[in-house]
């Protein structure tokens, strides 16, 4: 099955159709870095609900999307990088909500931790407006004005996680198959109605990072991952990369959602698990390969991450 031109504009010219059915369309993109699976449900005329499962660090679009579409996005897991016109970056994380015009101003999406799971409500304004008018009454909700209200200063707007966002979107991840399509319609209308109640977008404290800061943090991350056998103090990392210690710690957590220490430990345990599965190295050799001189300390750290000892993990 071949993708339509519109599908290529939204998902990239190399997108593949995995399945087409009355209920949904399933798309896939993949390369040597990973894959991206999208499951799209047609909720009503001009409105689709799309589940995104990303297992790669970057997705690029090579065709400009048509005008008149916007998205409401929710993050269930992972992180996404949001660049602003002035060169600053904001990070979209678990239970955050974002609204953006699909206007071709951002042709790349970056996922710093290498995965992202979430849902998008994709709206074609002209078609969807007829559905909204029929349901709520003409003049009740202007979809174009709705999106412009949130995206007046940039191509997108982000609302940080709160109880209401979590309530609105949580059920979308656990809907029984038998009522799925009807339930999607109700939820989409509920979300639109809730967001339309804001006369002005809520003002929130957000943490922005400059392009220079983000580039340095990504270099630090690559530097760490390149040789997990080597250990560095935070002071050494800051000095090597020319950053103030406090700024480095704050920015690293902002980009990757965790502390440098936790990130290094996670990367070491992932590499250790891979070595346990794919090599005959003994436990101490694997411990040394991921920066631990002491086998007992390595075993304790591995158990905290995987719930079993390295020896038991190898036997699974």
Question: What does the pLDDT look like over 22-70, one tens digit per residue?
Answer: 889 999 999 888 999 999 999 999 999 999 999 999 998 888 888 999 9
Give the structural domain span for 67.
Answer: 5-196
Residue 204 located in a structural domain = no
Q: Give the pairing of strands 80-83 and 24-31.
A: unpaired
Residue 268 near residue 287, CB atoms below 8 Å: no
3-state secondary structure of 314: helix
Report whether pLDDT(203) > 80.
no
291-314: b (≥16 Cβ within 10 Å) or e: bbeebeebbebbeeebeeebeebb
Which tokens sit at 171? 């059920």
Which tokens sit at 7? 């599908």
In total, how many domains does the chain have? 2
Based on the fold, state whether residues 168 and 218 are members of the same structural domain: no
Provide the pLDDT for residue 97: 93
Residue with tokens 């440098």: 260
Summarize pLDDT for 215-245 with one digit per residue, the tens.
999 999 999 999 999 999 999 999 999 999 9
Helix, strand, coil tally for the chain in percent (to 5)? 45, 25, 35
pLDDT over 90 percentage in the chain? 76
Residue 203 located in a structural domain = no
CATH code for position 277: 1.10.10.60
Based on the fold, state whether residues 87 and 215 are members of the same structural domain: no
Give the model's confidence band at 120: pLDDT under 50 very low, under 70 low, under 90 confident, else very high: very high
Based on the fold, state whether residues 115 and 253 are members of the same structural domain: no
Q: Which are the contacts of 298, defined by CB distance < 8 A and separation ≥ 6?
A: 272, 283, 286, 287, 290, 292, 310
Based on the fold, state whether residues 257 and 187 are members of the same structural domain: no
Residue 304 located in a structural domain = yes
Q: Which of 196, 228, 254 is where one domain is finished?
A: 196
Residue 202 located in a structural domain = no
Residue 206 located in a structural domain = no
Provide the pLDDT for residue 63: 86
Residue 87 located in a structural domain = yes
3-state secondary structure of 52: strand
d(C-alpha 280, C-alpha 288), whole Å: 14
Q: Which of 12-26, 99-113, 219-233 has the lowest mean pLDDT?
A: 99-113
Summarize pLDDT for 57-94 with one digit per residue, the tens.
999 888 888 899 999 999 999 999 988 777 888 899 99
Provide the pLDDT for residue 204: 66
d(C-alpha 55, C-alpha 34), whole Å: 5
pLDDT over 70 percentage in the chain? 98
Based on the fold, state whether residues 185 and 266 are members of the same structural domain: no
Q: Which of 137, 172, 196 is where one domain is finished?
A: 196
Based on the fold, state whether residues 177 and 258 are members of the same structural domain: no
Report whether pLDDT(205) > 70.
no
Torsion, Cα 227 83 172 12, to 10 degrees, reads -90
Provide the pLDDT for residue 2: 87
CATH code for position 127: 2.60.120.280
Residue 167 located in a structural domain = yes
Residue 43 near residue 184, CB atoms below 8 Å: yes
Based on the fold, state whether residues 98 and 178 are members of the same structural domain: yes
Summarize pLDDT for 178-189 with one digit per residue, the tens.
899 999 999 999
């Amino acid at each position: 099955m071949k993708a339509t031109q519109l599908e290529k504009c939204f998902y990239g010219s190399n997108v593949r159709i995995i399945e087409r059915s009355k209920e949904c369309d399933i798309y896939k993109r993949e390369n040597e870095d990973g894959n991206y699976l999208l499951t799209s449900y047609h909720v009503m005329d001009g409105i689709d609900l799309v589940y995104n499962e990303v297992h790669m660090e970057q997705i690029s679009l090579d065709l400009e999307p048509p005008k008149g579409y916007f998205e409401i996005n929710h993050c269930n897991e992972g992180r996404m990088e949001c660049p602003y016109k002035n060169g600053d970056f904001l990070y979209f994380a678990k239970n955050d909500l974002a609204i953006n015009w699909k206007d071709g101003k951002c042709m790349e999406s970056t996922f710093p931790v290498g995965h992202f799971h979430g849902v998008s409500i994709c709206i074609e304004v002209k078609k969807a407006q007829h559905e909204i008018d029929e349901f709520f009454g003409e003049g009740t909700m202007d979809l174009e004005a709705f999106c412009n209200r949130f995206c007046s200063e940039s191509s997108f707007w982000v609302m940080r996680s709160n109880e209401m966002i979590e309530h609105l979107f949580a059920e979308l991840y656990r809907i029984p198959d038998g009522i799925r399509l009807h339930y999607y319609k109700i939820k989409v209308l509920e979300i639109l109605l809730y967001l339309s109640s804001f006369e002005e977008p809520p003002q929130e404290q957000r943490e922005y990072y400059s392009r220079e800061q983000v580039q340095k943090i990504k270099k630090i991350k690559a530097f760490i991952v390149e040789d997990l056998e080597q250990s560095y103090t935070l002071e050494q990392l800051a000095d090597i990369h020319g950053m103030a210690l406090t700024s480095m710690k704050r920015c690293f957590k902002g980009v990757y959602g965790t502390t440098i220490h936790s990130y290094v430990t996670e990367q070491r345990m992932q590499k250790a698990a891979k070595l346990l599965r794919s090599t005959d190295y003994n436990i101490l050799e694997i411990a040394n390969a991921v920066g631990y001189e002491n086998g007992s300390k390595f075993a304790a750290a591995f158990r905290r991450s995987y719930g079993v000892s390295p020896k038991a993990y190898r036997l699974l």
